Amino acid sequence: MASGWKASNGDTVWTFYLRHNARWSNGQPVTAQDFYYAWTRLASPQDSTGALWSGAMGQVANAWAYHGEAVPASEVGLKVINNYTLQMHLVAPLDILPFLTTSSSMPLYPPSVTEHPTTWYLPQNFVGNGPYVVSSFTINGEIKMTWNKDYVGVPGEYNVGNVNQIDVIPTPTVPVEDYLGHSLSTALVTSAADYVYAKGHMKN
Amino acid sequence: MTGSMGLMTLVNPGTAMAASGTVTIPEPAASTLDPAQWGPQQLLDADALFEGLVGYNQQG
């Protein structure tokens, strides 16, 4: 989403510039306010299970204090400069910050989440900004994701492929056998027995 | 086959994907798609359902 960024104040203040053409799956523009909403929600004292530790927000000044209800959200060092500019004030210099923004750094579409706080990710309510949208979701079961026709990626980058549907099946009991039988496109070999079986049954 | 950290992933480019545009992948069961949660974020959300601050932009 970021078209670029700038570090200042000895790598403690990071300003990120968002590309202007990104769209939610309902056609609305993706803005800095959407990132602010999602990240502040992640750090909220009401969310005790969020992965605040995993990404950039955990490095932002007062994020953990806000999480612990020691300061209000207005004192957190995450600032919206304008619709397409987001600024982070960090607790300490961190020159690898952009790499931390690959995880726990996703925006949310606020109207969908506030209107459907516990079901916003179900197909009938889902609004995303990625290349796929949820078309079916069974809790702890199968998930289908289909191509988001409103997705606008970065020109010339690997964001347009030939896969128009991703089916996720939960924890198959015999993934290697399923893979060899062509009912799975990928499988993770996690045991020596599976490795030996795969090696003995694969043609290449 | 591809491998790292003691695990190995089997990837068959010649399965149903080429014919139908559909891939079928195994993942642990998910009770939510909320990207605030570590599991769904890493397994399903990142760069599929949501694009983060730094994701597809390989020039950044």
Q: Provide the token pair at A121.
A: 């990710």
Residue with tokens 């020691």: A70
Distance (Å, rounded) from C-alpha A185 to C-alpha A181?
Answer: 10
Angstrom CA distances, A191 to A174, A180, B7, B60, stand at: 12, 16, 8, 38
Element (H, E) at A193: helix A192-201
- The pLDDT assigned to A101 comes to 85
pLDDT tens, per residue, chain A with 204 residues: 898 999 999 999 999 999 999 999 999 999 999 999 999 999 999 988 888 988 899 999 999 999 999 999 999 999 999 999 999 999 999 998 988 887 789 999 999 999 999 999 999 999 999 999 999 999 999 999 999 988 888 777 766 678 889 999 988 888 888 988 888 998 888 889 888 888 888 775
CB contact under 8 A, B52 and A1: yes
Distance (Å, rounded) from C-alpha A86 to C-alpha A190?
Answer: 41
Residue B4 CA, distance from chain mean position: 16
CB A179 within 8 A of CB A187: yes
The 8-class DSSP code of residue A30 comes to P
Q: Provide the token pair at A135.
A: 């078309």
- Using CB atoms, pick whichever of A1, A22, A42 lies closest to residue B36: A42
CB A86 within 8 A of CB A35: yes
Query: What is the SS3 assignment for B7?
Result: strand
In chain A, residues with a C-beta closer than 8 Å to the C-beta of B20 are: 165
- The pLDDT assigned to B13 comes to 57
φ/ψ of A190, rounded to 5, equals -115, 0
In chain A, residues with a C-beta closer than 8 Å to the C-beta of B58 are: 154, 157-158
Confidence of residue B5 (pLDDT cuts 50, 70, 90): very low
CB contact under 8 A, B29 and A141: yes
Chain segment B12-56, per-residue pLDDT in tens:
655 445 456 899 998 888 899 999 988 888 888 888 899 999 865
- The pLDDT assigned to A201 comes to 86
The ipTM value here is 0.89
- The pLDDT assigned to B16 comes to 44
- The pLDDT assigned to A48 comes to 83
- The pLDDT assigned to B20 comes to 67
In chain A, residues with a C-beta closer than 8 Å to the C-beta of B19 are: none
Handedness of CA A141, A162, A181, A201 (dihedral sign): negative
Q: How many CB atoms lie within 10 A of CB A174?
A: 13
More confident residue, A116 or B11: A116
Query: What is the SS3 assignment for A171?
Result: coil
Residue A14 in contact with partner chain B when CB distance is under 8 A: no
Helix, strand and coil content of chain B, in percent to the nearest 5, comes to 20, 25, 50
